[in-house]
Amino acid sequence: MSSIQKALKTHFGFDKFRSQQQEDVINAVVKGDRDVFVCMPTGAGKSLCYQLPAMLAQGITMVVSPLIALIQDQVDQLQARNIPACSINSKVPARERRQIFEDLERETPCLKLLYITPEMLASPSFQPCLASLCSRGLLARLAVDEAHCVSQWGHDFRPDYLKLGKLRSRLPGVPCVALTATAPQRVREDVTQSLCLRRPLSFSTPVFRSNLHYDVVFRDGLPDPYVHLHAFVKKALADGSAGQGCGIVYCRTRDSCEEVAHRLTRLGVSAKAYHAGLKAADRTEAQNDWMQGKVAVIAATISFGMGVDKATVRFVAHWNLAKSLASYYQESGRAGRDGLPSSCRTYYSPQDRDQMNFLIRKEIARTQAKRGSEKDQDKVAITDFEAMVAFCEQEGCRHATISQFFGDKKPDCAGACDFCKDPKLVRAQIEAASRLSTRTGPAQSKESRGPFGFDPELYAGGRKGYGFERCDEDWETNTEDDSEKRRKAFGDVFKKQMNIRKSSDTKETFVPPDADCPLGDASSQRIPKLTVKAREHCLALLQSTLDNHQGAAVSTDSSDTQTLAVEIEHKVFRSSKTANLYKATVLKRVAEIKKGAGEVVSPRVGGGETSNCNSHADGPPDSKPDPPSSPSTSSGGDFLGFTSASQIYSLKRKRVGAGFRGSSNPFQTAAELLRASGDQDTSGGSGAETEPADALRGPGDPAEGADGGKRWKTESAVAGAAVSSPEKAQPIAGAPASVSSPTKGVSRKQQKLAQAAKMSRSICQYFSKKQEEGSAPDADGLISMAEEDKADLESVCEPPGEDEREVETPLDEKPLQKEPHVESEDPPGAKRQRPLQDSRKRVTFDSNVQESKAGRAGARGVPRVQKKAKTLKEGAEGTAGVLRAPEKPVTLKEAADIVVHCLDPFYSQGKFANKDLFKSFARFLSHLLTNGRSCGKGQVKSEARSLIKRFFSSLPLCQSESDWAHLRATVGGANGTEGGAEREGDGQAA
């Protein structure tokens, strides 16, 4: 038996090496004539590769390790084996440290392994000791654990590791061994270079671990994620060695650790939370209990597990997305270290992804701001994160994805992942998730949606979160309950975020066109917020319309249509002042081309922008509002099942295109819009048929914002409310003469549209109509409500049939009913005030009140209203998260107050009430009006918060003071509160 094998048995109690690789590495390290680089999978036994040689060497092996927690665990394990090892770090008491230094000064120190952080190693106070050891020839070896931390291309770069390179140059004859589990090729090269490894012997084993089964579950699609997790835990533990198994659930936030632990315990699995917010004693107790098998599951932030070497971990579940694929590999690799089959699962959620995305970008921005420059390496965090996302979202072998990420060949998975086991299931899950995402919309954007999916925990309230602040100081200072500090820290983070957003709102970088960009004046930035991409998109739209309606074009030759499209686009560009006007005009041109197939559209003919549009011959091309698009195509902007407020009536003049420049009031109704269209039409303008505005929503369009095109949709939807589906429209019986009587020159179609416009303008009318729709939400709850809302919106735009007219007033005395009568006569300002004057009565969500009112309103409507309320309630009760259990009914006023309070932190002097938030709020109120019967105060609150979470995103538009006032007036008006919902504090915003 060789001395190495003897030492293996004597000091570590192992009969043989774990693998040939391990033996080879140890032999090379013991030999000591060359530096060694080791890249072996998690749990492969890398530590032994320097620990065993340390026992055979003369002198001390200095081990650099990134975290005190990690060090402590290693030292404890070694000491438990009677191996003389200790650590010098800031946590070690002064007396103990003195003893260590005394030992190091001895001629023959007892210590064999000295663990140290890179910071301590580089600190001036340690240099005399280091120099002394070197000069006496007592520094046998330098081992750098977690060596990927040295690389800026690595997922866990630690700047202090960079100092090790310099240090090495001062230790000429001392061999070095660098070890990592997670190093793609680029990182390996970087580590070798940064640590000044001399002709290193490189040992690298594929990362594939066949005993780990990987799978991904889309969390949002689960009826109860905790129950799902519980089932997974039960199965994983049952599959493992009897009674011995345990597992880890990694969570991003402290609260989710607590929640997961609590839920699992309630469901019958013993679980404890572990995070830096716990007192040290509680944390130690949790860890010990888990180590000793007293609790089966630990729900922890990633600070847990580093250095925890437990062989029987049967599963590692990620409740939240890991920050990179490399981190994930490392974290999940804590399972199955005994080589037995174990499970690694990620509960994936797009919302989670977006939050993580934002945090990563924020972190990069912070680093860059600190450094004052950008580096290519900065992007690595993003690409590594994207690899993690791809791991979850793509159809493919999970092991292959990991292996490819680390530069290994595709392994033989042999069914050790969900995809290889059942690809159809994975595909179905992805498809279901993408369906969900198109309905819920913004959660799916790849872009950082904004700070605040607004969960204070995102910022961890300034606390240690998920993998971003892996520094020991944080760990040490968070031992006490510091909720006050945290609150303040969160406030600071919040303010900072606001400032960042504010400045990013104003600063927009213009992306120059490509060399072959066909646009005229392609690099002109004349129109603020109009990107080259958006223009190209419009151009493509124009050209495809010309191609498809060749009668409208001068020639059928496609190159000619392109030239023509370029000219039209350029002309529109030159004549538009704002991005919105530009887009509106493009839409108009598209409609004209379609309508006027056979007529000449070329701007070269006729002198105007379009020759068939004689209404524009004299005036500025954009001086009239564009004909709207069909709501059926533009109403897709619903989020969370709430119909866009703008689909009900317009909020801003500029959104509906030109034609209202002279108006002092920034708001207008669809009826006004229609009037303007009517004017236009009477002067010969066309435009009953338009291209869906959605068609214009191009990538990179600034007006589209981070939400994937809501603004476009808004525009078209506003317009659409006025003129959609005209052919089917029937006049409403009893409609006010002022509107229903056709004015001269206004076509019959437009009269019908006027009726539709009036209907859509009134929220109450809209929703009272909605009450009578018979369909109930399906099991998807909210999602199906979104569909339903969409359908309702469309039906609103079509005048109702006889039946429907009778139940249009289930909220009988509701003030807004009267609006249409005055709408067409009053100036816009008066219109806005109208609800305030008429709204002294309380609109409640008490189903009894509603139904009795509905009863008075019309016997025919009642059963349907009741049925609707009932089905909505039932549907909602079966739906996670949204308006579930009926609580004490809440009035609109109360609901508004709650929401306004929730919004308050984001609003200051008209600056930060973001457009999406604003719309969401309106949608939320609309939703309440529709479904509020089954909704209680608590639910309203949580719903409001969830809205804010989702919608406080990075759209670069701020609401104006007047918008805000209008919103408040609308809300207050519906409840009899002059001036809108008060914003007196009740602490809910906090």
Ligand X SMILES: Nc1ncnc2c1ncn2[C@@H]1O[C@H](COP(=O)(O)OP(=O)(O)OP(=O)(O)O)[C@@H](O)[C@H]1O
Under the rule (CB under 6 A), what is the footprint of ligand X? Answer: 14, 17-18, 22, 40, 42-48, 181, 309, 311, 333, 337
Q: Which is closer to ligand X, CB of 49 or CB of 836?
A: 49
* Closest approach of ligand X to the CB of residue 975, in Å: 60
Rounded distance, CA 67 to CA 308, Å? Answer: 12
**In the complex, what is the shortest distance from the CB of residue 244 to ligand X, in angstroms, rounded to a whole number?**
14
The C-alpha atoms of residue 813 and residue 811 are separated, in whole angstroms, by 6
- What residues are paired with 201 via a beta bridge? 36
Shortest CB 716 distance to ligand X, Å: 54
Burial class (CB in 10 A: 0-12, 13-18, 19+), 262: middle
642 DSSP 8-state letter: B
Q: Which is nearer to ligand X, 44 or 142 (CB)?
A: 44
Q: In angstroms, rounded to a whole number, what is the distance separating the alpha carbons of residues 198 and 567?
A: 65
Residue (181 or 321) nearer to ligand X, CB = 181
CB of 23 to ligand X, least distance (A): 8
From residue 467, alpha-carbon distances to 41, 69, 460 in Å are 20, 14, 11
**Comparison of 74 and 755: residue with beta carbon closer to ligand X:** 74
CA-based radius of gyration for the chain: 33
Encoded amino acid at 390, one letter: A
Three-class secondary structure of residue 86 per DSSP = strand
Q: Is 724 helix (H, G, I), strand (E, B) or coil?
A: coil
CB of 8 to ligand X, least distance (A): 7
Rounded-to-integer distance, Cα 913 and Cα 501, Å? 12
Smallest distance from ligand X to CB 144, Å: 13
Residue 22 Cβ vs ligand X, minimum distance, rounded to whole Å: 6
Nearest CB to ligand X, comparing residues 42 and 615: 42
In a 10 Å sphere around its CB, with 0-12 CB exposed, 13-18 middle and 19+ buried, how is residue 437 labelled?
Answer: middle
Name 920's Cβ contacts closer than 8 Å, sequence gap at least 6: 639, 640, 642, 947, 948, 950, 951
> Please, what is the minimum distance in Å from the beta carbon of residue 339 to ligand X?
9
Encoded tokens for 508: 């927009």
User: What's phi and psi for 178, nearest 5 deg?
Assistant: -110, 135
Q: Which residue is nearest to ligand X (CB)?
A: 45
Strand partners, 925: none
CB of 15 to ligand X, least distance (A): 7
Q: Which long-range contacts (CB under 8 A, 24 or more apart) does 272-276 make?
A: 272/297, 272/298, 272/299, 273/298, 273/299, 273/300, 274/298, 274/299, 274/300, 274/301, 274/304, 275/300, 275/301, 275/303, 275/304, 275/464, 276/301, 276/303, 276/463, 276/464, 276/474, 276/475, 276/478, 276/479
- The residue among 384 and 943 lying less far from ligand X, judged by its C-beta, is 384
Per the CB < 8 A criterion, the answer to whether 759 and 766 are in contact is yes
Shortest reach from residue 340's CB to ligand X, in Å = 13
Give the nearer residue to ligand X in terms of CB position, either 18 or 487.
18
d(CA 622, CA 861): 44
Instruction: Give the angle 330-335-341 at the CA atoms, nearest 5°.
Output: 130
Residue 319 CB: number of other CB atoms within 10 A? 23
- 957 CB contacts (<8 Å, ≥6 apart)? 505, 705, 711, 914, 915
Angle at 571 between CA 567 and CA 574, to 5 degrees: 140
Residues 6 or more apart whose Cβ sits within 8 Å of residue 383: none
Shortest distance (Å) from residue 338 CB to ligand X: 8
Nearer to ligand X, 48 or 116 (CB): 48
Classify each residue of 875-890 as buried b or exposed e, where b means 16 or more C-beta atoms within 10 Å of its C-beta. Answer: bbeebeebbbebeebb
Query: Is 8 or 796 the residue whose CB approaches ligand X more closely?
Result: 8
CB of 271 to ligand X, least distance (A): 23
What is the number of alpha carbons within 13 Å of residue 866 lying toward its C-beta?
13
Q: How far is the CB of 73 from ligand X (least distance, A)?
A: 9
CB of 171 to ligand X, least distance (A): 24
Helix 861-877 × helix 763-771 angle, to 10°: 90
Quick one: 309 or 812, whose CB is closer to ligand X? 309
Give 56 or 389: the residue with its C-beta nearer to ligand X: 56
CB of 48 to ligand X, least distance (A): 4
CB 307, min distance to ligand X, A = 8
Q: In Å, how far are 38, 120, 190, 981 from 152, measured between CA atoms?
A: 18, 20, 8, 52
Query: Which residue, 311 or 605, has its beta carbon nearer to ligand X?
Result: 311
Integer Cα distance of 243 and 241 in angstroms: 6
* Dihedral sign of CA atoms 22, 28, 29, 34 in order: negative
- Which residues neighbour 295 within 8 Å (Cβ) at sequence distance 6 or greater? 246, 270, 271, 272, 286, 289
Whichever of 71 and 797 has its CB closer to ligand X, that residue is 71
Residue identified by tokens 């919309």 is: 441
Minimum CB separation of residue 297 from ligand X in Å reads 20
Using the minimum distance from each CB to ligand X, give the nearer residue, 28 or 552: 28
Q: Which is nearer to ligand X, 179 or 273 (CB)?
A: 179
Which CB, 329 or 475, lies closer to ligand X? 329
Q: Which is nearer to ligand X, 45 or 976 (CB)?
A: 45
